[in-house]
Structure 1
Amino acid sequence: IVNHNIPITVIDSAIGSIKEFFEQPTDYKMRFYHREAGKGAAYSTNFDLYKSKAASWRDTLQVKMSPVEPDWEAVPEMCRGALVEWDKAVLGLGEELMSMLCEGLGIKSDKLKELSCLEARACVSHYYPPCPQPELTVGLTSHTDPGVLTILVQNEVGGLLQVKCGDEWADVDAVHGAIVINIGDLLQIMSNDEYKSVEHRVLANSAEGARVSIAVFFNPSNEDRLYGPLPELVSTTKPAVYQEFKIDDYMKRFFTKELDGKSLTNFYRIDNTKA
């Protein structure tokens, strides 16, 4: 999307700060090496390293922004201010998008907000350095995002992000200042298949410069309620397509499997068959 009212300077500052971190000496970056984010930042490569069939060509920095504020002393200093500003901007955009998506479903505009879908946000930044043999690997394997909505920005090293359209892969052009919006598996489930999560991947980088992306994932924070198709979208003519579940169990399932197409929605589908 364009014309989103987020200043280009806020986007450029966030991307620039992340790029600066990833281009620091290894000794500095290893101060933040963790397999899980906790309350600070987690620097790693391939979060599904021990589950996937092959390693991908990228590094990752993850910061859990909410519902508990991160320990900023445990976040790289060059990223702190820029990520605070980026999170504020993204939160406003996320609320506006969710309101419009609710209206598109014919339900009240603040329904997703009521269900705490704005409250658990994770900022996940990827760094894709040039790969000497890009035909032998990928930057990020084919997958769908597990949450409600993902808001993503990237620098202008294009030709790498692709979305699946039927049986074909289409490039997502890197446009300065534009923002990519992904519908996640949870919104597909809650909408009872009215909205579809987008399967996407990132090719290994054959360019001279590094690709940098920042994705903010919106998830519910309410761990006690059951999530599934919204009652307003279930009827005798269109029964519920998915099982109900608690968000903690749902996310654990995502993080204990490899990235693999739309396997999460297929698992919770009531007939357990592929859509």
Structure 2
Amino acid sequence: MAVNCATSNSQYDRLKEVKEFDESKMGVKGLSDSGITSIPRFFIHPPETLPCNNLNSSTNTTSIPLLDLANLNSPTHRPQIIQQIKDAASTWGFFQVINHGIPASVLDETIQSITAFHEQPHEIKAKHYRRQEHHGVMYTSNNDLYRSKAATWHDSLQVYTAPEEMKVEDDIPGVCRKEVIAWDFHAVKVAEALFELLAEGLGLEAGKFKELGFMKARLFLGHCYPYCPQPDLTVGIKSHTDAGLTVLLQNQVGGLQVKRGSEWVDVKPLPGALTVNIGDFIQIISNGEYQSVEHRVLANSSKEPRISVLIFNNLGGWKESDEFGPLPELLSAEKPALYRGFTVPEFLQSFYSKELDGKNIVERVTLH
């Protein structure tokens, strides 16, 4: 099928259409289920930002690193695993892990429960629909809907699981409450193990990232990328980087791509595997030793929805005046700081003042 990247330039009241969509609380899943054959205009992206015109498409011969954590605590194997994770975080910023310790039943039930949430009738899901960042439970479509130049083809269930004062387990939709809590419990253990390996790879104490507060702020996301009738005109999620350390579980519908040089590489779903990526804060802390890498999700051309479940492990416990930057113990005359320090308010202002796009905070604090 030929790819058509053309868009119409005729004038229309974009804000009015966006508001009508938002206030309908139907999400893109509702649009898809209604049987539309063309997408609303505010989802159409400029030709230069569409995957069909944006750098080289992925090749089938390249894939992100795969790490086996089976012998994580073996004195014989651990140094090798530390070296592997260091290499993956330094050169790719993305990797998959197997034998991570989360039971297959938990993985399956997590995907099934988030699928079940998004498959619920509109009037049930709509009770959870809101745009209230930094609060408990939120179901929405495009958290940057009113800040973006073009919307993207996905809906999300968002749940804060830490810190304690932001947890509202009773507000989690009943169809997935037990599974979200179980996923958070298990995924935290994986994240903690990965943080220890990453710290040791930098020559730091194993608990350094936890000590800095990386386990204190956690956000659960359950994304749904429903069938899109015009996948060549929009994207599932725009190219962006994450803030902390992300642990991702996905079903077998592909679409995630990682930017590597001038190429976009497909992250092929691997049954039982988790996908991990390094965020901007870790790049800054490590003074560039570890790399935060742009990634995106293509609009879904499959009739089966793409489901992905993430846990973001972000820095928590900061005071507003605390300054954050490269760790002093990693700096020397030969390796001076690549980044300046910044505060929580600066990061939040940087993130929420614009659409999801690019390496936001890294570009802002890079020293030239």
Do the aligned residues in 1 keep the contact of 2:137 with 2:158 (CA within 8 Å)? Answer: yes
1:30-179 correspondence to structure 2 within 5 Å: 30-68=126-164, 70-146=167-243, 148-158=244-254, 160-179=255-274
1:256 Cα shift? 2.3
Do the aligned residues in 1 keep the contact of 2:256 with 2:296 (CA within 8 Å)? Answer: yes
Do the aligned residues in 2 keep the contact of 1:130 with 1:205 (CA within 8 Å)? Answer: yes
Tell whether 2:104 aligns with 1:8: yes
1:164 Cα shift? 0.5
**Alpha-carbon separation, structure 1, partners of 2:127 and 2:353:** 25
Do the aligned residues in 1 keep the contact of 2:350 with 2:360 (CA within 8 Å)? Answer: no
Instruction: Write the deviation string for residues 226-270 of structure 1: whole angstroms up to 9, x where unpaired.
Output: 211001111111111111122343134212221222232111112
TM-score by structure 2 length? 0.71
**Alpha-carbon separation, structure 2, partners of 1:110 and 1:252:** 29
Instruction: Write the deviation string for residues 182-230 of structure 1: whole angstroms up to 9, x where unpaired.
Output: 1000000000000000210000000110000011101111222321100
Do the aligned residues in 1 keep the contact of 2:351 with 2:360 (CA within 8 Å)? Answer: no
Q: Out of 247, 254, 259, which is 2:344 matched to? A: 247
TM-score by structure 1 length? 0.95
Q: Which runs of 5+ in 1 are unaligned?
A: none
Tell whether 2:236 aligns with 1:236: no
1:171 Cα shift? 0.3
After superposing the two structures, state which structure 1 stretch, 72-81 or 211-220, moved more: 72-81
Do the aligned residues in 2 keep the contact of 1:40 with 1:73 (CA within 8 Å)? Answer: no
Identify the residue that residue 297 of structure 2 maps to in structure 1. Answer: 202
Do the aligned residues in 2 keep the contact of 1:37 with 1:62 (CA within 8 Å)? Answer: no
**Alpha-carbon separation, structure 2, partners of 1:39 and 1:136:** 33
**Alpha-carbon separation, structure 1, partners of 2:292 and 2:316:** 20
Identify the residue that residue 310 of structure 2 maps to in structure 1. Answer: 215
Q: How many residues align?
A: 269
1:13 Cα shift? 1.0
Tell whether 2:277 aligns with 1:182: yes
1:88 Cα shift? 0.8
Counterpart amino acid of residue 94 in structure 1: A
1:11 Cα shift? 1.1
Which has the larger Rg? 2
1:37 Cα shift? 4.6
Do the aligned residues in 1 keep the contact of 2:117 with 2:125 (CA within 8 Å)? Answer: yes
Structure 1 stretches of 4+ with a deviation exceeding 6 A read none
**Alpha-carbon separation, structure 2, partners of 1:263 and 1:84:** 30
Question: Using a 3 Å threshold, how does the CA distance of structure 1 residues 178 and 128 change in structure 2: closer, same or farther?
Answer: same
**Alpha-carbon separation, structure 1, partners of 2:213 and 2:258:** 28
Counterpart amino acid of residue 71 in structure 1: V
**Alpha-carbon separation, structure 2, partners of 1:241 and 1:34:** 39
Do the aligned residues in 2 keep the contact of 1:58 with 1:127 (CA within 8 Å)? Answer: yes
1:73 Cα shift? 2.4
Instruction: Write the deviation string for residues 81-124 of structure 1: whole angstroms up to 9, x where unpaired.
Output: 10111111011111100000011111111111111111100001
Counterpart amino acid of residue 342 in structure 2: F
Amino-acid identity (%): 47
After superposing the two structures, state which structure 1 stretch, 40-49 or 131-140, moved more: 40-49
Structural RMSD (CA): 1.2
**Alpha-carbon separation, structure 2, partners of 1:83 and 1:248:** 29
**Alpha-carbon separation, structure 2, partners of 1:15 and 1:243:** 40
1:38 Cα shift? 4.6
Q: Which runs of 5+ in 2 are unaligned?
A: 1-96
